[in-house]
Each structure stands twice: as C-alpha cells, then as structure tokens.
Structure 1
Amino acid sequence: MADVHRLPTPVTQVWDWQLRAACRRVDSDVFFHPANERGPAAAARDADAKKICAACPVIGACRDHALAVREPYGVWGGLTTDERNALLRRRGLRPVAT
C-alpha cells in the first residue's frame, strides 16, 4: 500500500493533472502486473505502458506524484517500481519496500 501521509491536500489544482493523463482511456492492467508475472511477459507489459506514458502530456506530474508517495506498484510517469526506487536512491531518499 502506498504511504499516503505524504499526499498533498486534495484540492483540484493539485489533482487536476490526472484528468489529462493518457492512461485514463487505457485498461489499468497495462500498468500493473498480475500475480507471478515475470520475464518477457512483464517486460512486454512494462514496454507497452511506457509507450503510453511517453506520449502523455502529464508524465512529469505523474512521475512526481509516484516518487512523492512512494507508489509501490505499477508504471507511473514512465517508470517501473524498480526504476523509481533507483531514482529515489540516487536522490538519497528511502525507496519503496516491495
């Protein structure tokens, strides 16, 4: 579960970016792996998700959100959980416990 205590105050200006997200029209299964998915299947699903993210007008806001709240699952802002954790470590911050 995401650590929600770091979430900003729920005001429209803070969350409005989600209304413009490219993923709003895509099945969430593209961004979150099913139980026991590994190897080529996981890599292919992540690649499909990242293609959607690459064309998203709010990729930066999505990535910032995922890093701020330490989203533990899925592709957010074009980054997998492992990629987000690596970025957090480079910034000297605690990664997500998965």
Structure 2
Amino acid sequence: MKSTTKPLLDAWQWQMRASCRGLDSAVFFTPHGERGRARKRREEAARAICRSCPVSTACGSFATASGQYYGVWGGRTEAERRVERGVPRPR
C-alpha cells in the first residue's frame, strides 16, 4: 500500500528559503504593551522583509491553515488575518 503522507521535511522545506530565517523574531511578534506608532513601525519593518521573500505566499498559507494568531506571517499582520477569518477585533 502506498502512503499518501508527505515526508515532514518536504512540508517544511519552504522555511529554508525564507527571508526571515535567522533574523530576530521580535521583528515579527508584538512585545507586551507595544501600541500605536511603535507597533506600526515594527509591523512595517516585518512587512518589508516579507515583500522581498520568495516564500511569503507559502508562509501566509501556513499561518492561515495552522491558525497563527500572533505575528506577521507572509506579510500579513495579526489584524489582517483576523479580518480574513471573520473574527471581530478585540476590545
């Protein structure tokens, strides 16, 4: 019987080509208490990295499929993914 599962390495291979590989994850995830302009600047810095990334589509798809609630993935912020999922903004 032939297996229909893919080797785990194949499923994650896109990460090897990610522009963010080896960078400080603090660029992509909100530190406690970050708000306003500081948050916008950090998110824009993350999005700039994602714009030049050859695997941003795969990254964004992974974030959506796995329900990543935090961070910038594939150039999309937490708020943007929340809207895509139809989840109301937290108060």
Output the TM-score relative to the length of structure 1.
0.79
Name whichever structure is richer in helix by fraction.
1
1:1-98 → structure 2 map (5 Å cutoff): 11-89=8-86, 95=87
> C-alpha deviations, 1:39-86, integer Å up to 9, x for none?
000000000000000000000000000001110110000001110111
What amino acid is aligned across from residue 61 of structure 1 in structure 2? A
Question: Which consecutive unaligned segments of at least 5 residues does structure 1 have?
Answer: 1-7, 90-94
Indicate how the Cα distance of structure 1 residues 79 and 10 shifts in structure 2: closer, same or farther if over 3 A, else same: farther
CA distance in 2, matches of 1:38, 1:58: 28
Indicate how the Cα distance of structure 1 residues 56 and 46 shifts in structure 2: closer, same or farther if over 3 A, else same: same
Give aligned pairs, total. 86
Q: Please give the root-mean-square deviation of Cα atoms over the aligned residues, in Å.
A: 2.3
CA distance in 2, matches of 1:53, 1:27: 14
Match of 1:4 in 2: none
